Copies of this chain bind each other. A is one copy, B any other.
Amino acid sequence: MVFSVAVAGASGYAGGELLRLLAAHPDFEVRTVTAHSNSGQRLVDVQPHLRSLSHLVLGDTDATALSGHDVVFLALPHGASGALTAELPASTLVVDCGADHRLESEADWAAFYGGDYFGAWAYGVPELPVDGGRQRDRLVGARRIAAPGCNASTVALALAPGILAGVIEATDIVAVLAVGPSGAGKSLKVPNLAAEILGSANPYAVGGTHRHIPEIQQSLRWAGAVAPTVSFTPVIVPMSRGILATSTARLVPGTSAAAVRAAWESAYADEPFVHLLPSGQFPRTADVLGANTALIGLAIDEAAGRVITVTAVDNLVKGTAGAAIQSANIALGLPETRGLSTNGVAP
């Protein structure tokens, strides 16, 4: 069976990546693509790398255009999907790549986003723990899925095993991320210009203001943390895509090195897309470029009393579009790995 698919927000970076992955997926057929200002153009004129989809033309983003498909992927600005999805049939699988349905806490939503709150959907990071199982348990048969924030899911994947196993403390987590500017989308602002970013490392949202912080805390609570605190600093570096997250937490006193490594090993031993690297190895973002893989390197700094994790993901794949498709696979009863590659494009 082939599932018919619509993608809203097809002219942006997340939308483009959804389409690149969907084009290689044997069970999905993209029938409808929609956009805002680019409506009416050929998709390939806006996304010139999507050669195999040159037959598609961008339409307007509205419920009429999106209805009548088995699956609808939304890659819209924050705040845009809530009202729209209310008009789509409950039987349609809707996967939202925006933030609108990620947070279970309306207070968190109000504090970090604001505007109307539309409630939380099943969270599209299948490997993360919840309710004594994994998020994938909630995704089976789901018809509403919230794809994760790229930075948030990266830090959560990095640290959840240690929280779950009780080998790291959930207070005083410190995460610093090197991120590519594609995460900011096609937003026309001076700090996003090439001349501003080439040859430079540029921090933003310093000091506890980044919107992904409550999402990280939510995932760590699902893993068992009571009141996690996270210092989170993203730094934009001159690579188009990729996240390299250095996520550290205090080692629970008295924990052996073997127990630490065992926590991550047991969490991800059977995961197709999240790989713990051998001791002494650490990942590069190039290793996961274009892939749905998260690679995690793990070290214990005894002198500093911290566990150090370094995690590489492609923000547009495992961080967004790949997570969305992986979750859709689960929801629809397809093999979880269908249509998704673990191999990066390097160098």
Contacts and interface: CB of A to CB of B under 8 A. Distances in A.
Interface of A: 13, 16, 20, 23-24, 45, 47-53, 171-174, 176, 178, 180-182, 184, 186, 188-190, 192-204, 206-208, 213, 229-233, 235, 237-242, 244, 246, 248, 250, 275, 277, 281-291, 293, 295, 297, 299-306, 308, 310, 312, 341-347
A341 B54 CA distance: 14
Q: Which of A207, A275, A290 has the most CB of B within 10 A?
A: A207
A181 B203 contact: no
Contacts of A174: 174, 176, 231, 248, 304, 306
A336 to B, nearest CB: 15
Contacts of A285: 199-202
Closest 7 pairs (CB-CB, A-B) = A207-B299, A49-B344, A200-B286, A176-B176, A208-B301, A201-B244, A194-B197
Nearest to A309: B206
| Copies assembled | 4
Contact of A180 (B20, B195, B295): B195
A295 to B, nearest CB: 8
Given A49-B287, A229-B305, A290-B290, A244 B235 contact: yes
Contacts of A289: 49, 199-200, 345
A301 B288 CA distance: 32
A199 B47 CA distance: 16
Most buried by B among A193, A201, A250, A287: A201
